[in-house]
């Protein structure tokens, strides 16, 4: 019943802000239009459509704001007026009051803000769907940014996630593609990361990890976390200075090389994904500053993605084969990963992928209609039964953000040529001599622990059947001899491996 009430409220807000005009644009006289006609008296159509859409999403709550943020990065798919309004959702969501902010500080630390900080500005400098940011000064004079969770968020998010799960269940049962797309798993993945955003201690830990990954990097700066001033509802970190990445003309006036900035963004993305397997999954323009030297500055760490070594390997294989236009390798990688049914014909999948991808190569971003490409890829995946990978949903979202950011910075950016050298270098490091050396160094401590135990383990293994020695047949003796030979061979390989590691360590040092 609660979900049904929430659904009615969503419908009422949509009609109130005149959003039904978007849904009914293609069929203004159909049954849905007739059903909604009695609600027309509640419409407010004085404002422009983009403003109404933004305000409706703000009214509906944080999940819908997140959806608007993702849409705002896709200027190639949206009219300019709507994209401009949705961009305000990145950091211009209406803030909660200064009184509430001060109350949240006092609840978190058990004392008023004046006793926690040397100075605290109760007016928010940025406000988003989950939290807002205030400037402060720590005892001793260190400038800081304080992120405060919006009060009363959890019940609203729980209701909306329940509604999304119900909708996903209907999709699975009523739509032919429902099971293949795994909508409930996708909603579950989204819910997990959204719940993570509600714990600012987890966000602080993510920021600390990302800062450590990019320590000393000329590409990306990450603020330091001040742990003594962090709780699950309040996060305090180093105050960062820079210009929002969306203010391209201002960056040009500062002398920032915009073309290089776009290329650096691509490199940062691939470094996070393939080197670290830990990536910023909410890289919309509201979360990124740029320093006067052209260094990116990350600001928000509520949504972070992780990838296993297996995921990274398959992704790298797909990306690299795609950049080399080796569509057969792309098809084989999908088959090896189990993303398509085992009976899929590789040649047919290869031809379908070539048909979709070949027209977009050797073109800058401004000439690629990604909406059409995505539609054709979806049609291809449906035809071949490609299963959606829920663990990669955040990566797909991040790719859309990166592509949208690259288009905004430099429409002439050649995404493929920028990314290919980095991926080739990464593959060489993983599969070549360096990859072997790294694997040996990683496994060596375990070998060093195991090798001294081998004589005792071998003796125990070989002595296991002595109680039945009088009844051993010729076949059993032969089997025992084969076991001994395998064991000796295994021990020899292990000893040689340890010696090789020691030689390699000497060579490396």
492, burial (CB in 10 Å: exposed 0-12, middle 13-18, buried 19+)? exposed
| CA–CA gap between residue 337 and residue 217 (Å, rounded) | 33
Q: Which of 80-94, 149-163, 428-442 comes out lowest in average pLDDT?
A: 428-442
Q: Give CA–CA dist 168/179, Å, rounded.
A: 10
| 399 within 8 A of 374, measured Cβ to Cβ | no
Split at pLDDT 50, 70, 90, the class of 341 is confident
Query: Coil, helix or strand for 92?
Result: strand
Contact 378, 386 (CB under 8 A): no
Under the banding of pLDDT at 50, 70 and 90, the label for residue 404 is confident
Two structure tokens written together for 233: 């509802």
Q: Where exactly are the structural domains of the chain? A: 2-90, 154-193, 242-431, 433-508
* pLDDT grade for 195, boundaries at 50, 70 and 90: confident
Residue (of 254, 268, 269, 259) closest to 218 by Cα position: 268
Tell me what pLDDT residue 186 has.
63
Region of residue 140 (phi > 0: left; psi between -120 and 50: alpha; otherwise: beta): left
| 74 has pLDDT over 60 | no
In this prediction, residue 505 has a pLDDT band, given cuts at 50, 70 and 90, of very low
Report DSSP state, residue 224: P
Q: Are 344 and 317 in contact (CB under 8 A)?
A: no
pLDDT of residue 349: 87
- pLDDT-derived band at 507 (thresholds 50, 70, 90) equals very low
Confidence of residue 483 (pLDDT cuts 50, 70, 90): low
Mark 356-390 as b/e (b = at least 16 C-beta within 10 Å).
Answer: bbeebeeeebeebebeeeeeebeebbeebebbbbb
pLDDT at residue number 504: 47
Residue 51 or 79, more confident: 51
285 compared with 248, residue with greater pLDDT: 248
Higher per-residue pLDDT: 36 or 382:
382
The model's confidence at residue 506, banded by pLDDT at 50, 70 and 90, is very low
Q: Per-residue pLDDT for 169 more than 50?
A: yes
* pLDDT band, residue 204 (cuts 50/70/90): very high
Q: What is the pLDDT of residue 202?
A: 93
Separation of alpha carbons 283 and 299, rounded Å: 9
Q: Is 282 a catalytic residue?
A: yes
Cα atoms in the 13 Å half-sphere on the side-chain side of 174: 6
Report pLDDT digits (tens) over 363-373. 666 666 554 55
Render pLDDT for 111-122 as a digit per residue (tens, 0 to 9): 999 999 999 999
pLDDT at 246: 85
Q: How many Å is the Cα radius of gyration of the chain?
A: 28
3-state secondary structure of 345: coil
Give the confidence band of 155 by pLDDT, cuts at 50, 70, 90. confident
Q: Which structure tokens are listed for 445?
A: 């401590």
Alpha helices in 17-146 (DSSP H): 20-23, 31-36, 49-60, 62-72, 80-87, 98-109, 113-116
Active-site position among 228, 282, 309, 465: 282
pLDDT interval class at 269 (50, 70, 90):
confident
Report the candidate in 381, 405, 348 with the shortest Cα–Cα distance to residue 90: 405
Closest residue by Cα to residue 52 from 81, 11, 73, 95: 81
Between 265 and 417, residue with greater pLDDT: 265
In the chain, what percentage of residues exceed pLDDT 70? 63
| pLDDT recorded at residue 100 | 95
Pair of tokens at residue 401: 């953000």
Question: At 146, which helix (H) or strand (E)?
Answer: strand 143-149
Decide: pTM greater than 0.85.
no
Confidence grade of residue 467 (pLDDT, cut at 50, 70, 90): very low
Q: What integer is the mean pLDDT of 335-343?
A: 79
Give the rounded distance of the alpha carbon of 308 from its chain centre.
Answer: 13
Please say if the pLDDT value at position 163 is more than 90.
no
> Please, what is the average pLDDT of the chain?
76
Question: Would you give the end-to-end CA distance of the chain in angstroms?
Answer: 68
Segments in 324-432 forming alpha helices (H): 327-336, 346-357, 370-384, 393-409, 415-431
Residue 111, burial from CB neighbour count under 10 angstroms (0-12, 13-18, 19+): exposed
Round to whole Å and give the CA distance between 356 and 194.
33
Q: Which of left, alpha, beta for 138 (phi over 0: left; psi -120 to 50: alpha)?
A: beta
Contact present, 204 and 230 (Cβ < 8 Å):
yes
In contact, 206 and 301? CB cutoff 8 Å: yes
CB 463 within 8 A of CB 456: no
């Amino acid at each position: 019943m609660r979900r049904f009430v929430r659904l009615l409220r969503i419908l009422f807000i949509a009609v109130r802000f005149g959003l039904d005009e978007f849904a009914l644009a293609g069929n203004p006289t159909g049954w849905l239009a007739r059903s909604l006609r009695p609600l027309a008296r509640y419409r407010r159509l004085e404002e422009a459509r983009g403003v109404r859409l933004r305000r409706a999403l703000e009214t509906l709550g944080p999940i819908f704001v997140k959806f608007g943020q993702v849409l705002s990065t896709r200027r190639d798919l949206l009219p300019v007026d709507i994209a401009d309004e949705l961009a305000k959702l990145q950091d211009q969501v209406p803030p909660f009051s200064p009184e509430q902010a001060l109350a949240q500080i006092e609840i978190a630390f058990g004392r008023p803000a004046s006793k926690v900080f040397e100075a605290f500005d109760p007016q928010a400098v940025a406000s988003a769907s989950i939290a807002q940011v205030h400037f402060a000064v720590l005892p001793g004079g260190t400038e800081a940014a304080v992120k405060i969770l919006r009060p009363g968020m959890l019940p609203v998010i729980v209701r909306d996630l329940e509604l999304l799960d119900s909708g996903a269940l209907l999709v699975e049962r009523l739509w032919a593609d429902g099971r293949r797309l795994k909508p409930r798993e996708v909603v579950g993945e989204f819910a997990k990361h959204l719940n993570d955003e509600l714990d600012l201690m987890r966000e602080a830990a993510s920021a600390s990890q990302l800062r450590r990954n990019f320590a000393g990097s000329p590409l990306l700066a990450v603020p330091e976390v001040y742990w003594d001033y962090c709780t699950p509802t309040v996060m305090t970190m180093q105050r960062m200075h820079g210009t929002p990445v969306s203010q391209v003309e201002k960056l040009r006036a500062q002398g920032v090389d915009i073309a290089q900035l776009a290329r650096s963004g691509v490199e940062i993305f691939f470094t996070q994904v393939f080197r670290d397997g830990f990536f910023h999954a909410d890289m919309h323009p509201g979360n990124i500053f740029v320093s006067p030297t052209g260094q990116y500055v990350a600001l928000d760490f509520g949504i972070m993605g992780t990838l296993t070594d297996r995921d990274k390997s398959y992704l790298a294989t797909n990306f690299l084969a795609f950049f080399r236009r080796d569509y057969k390798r792309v098809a084989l990688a999908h088959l090896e990963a189990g993303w398509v049914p085992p009976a899929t014909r590789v040649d047919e999948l290869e031809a379908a992928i070539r048909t979709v991808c070949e027209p977009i190569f050797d073109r800058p971003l401004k000439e690629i209609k990604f909406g059409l490409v995505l539609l054709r890829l979806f049609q291809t995946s449906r035809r071949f039964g490609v299963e959606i990978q829920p663990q990669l949903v955040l990566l797909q979202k991040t790719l859309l953000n990166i592509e949208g950011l690259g288009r905004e910075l430099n429409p002439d950016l050649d995404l493929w040529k920028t990314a290919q050298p980095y991926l080739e270098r990464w593959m060489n490091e993983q599969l070549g001599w360096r990859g072997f050396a790294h694997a040996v160094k990683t496994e060596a401590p375990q070998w060093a622990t195991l090798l001294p135990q081998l004589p005792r383990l071998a003796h125990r293994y070989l002595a296991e059947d002595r109680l039945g020695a009088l009844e051993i047949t010729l076949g059993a003796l032969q089997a025992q001899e084969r076991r001994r030979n395998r064991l000796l061979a295994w021990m020899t390989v292990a000893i040689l491996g340890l010696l090789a590691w020691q030689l390699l360590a000497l060579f490396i040092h």
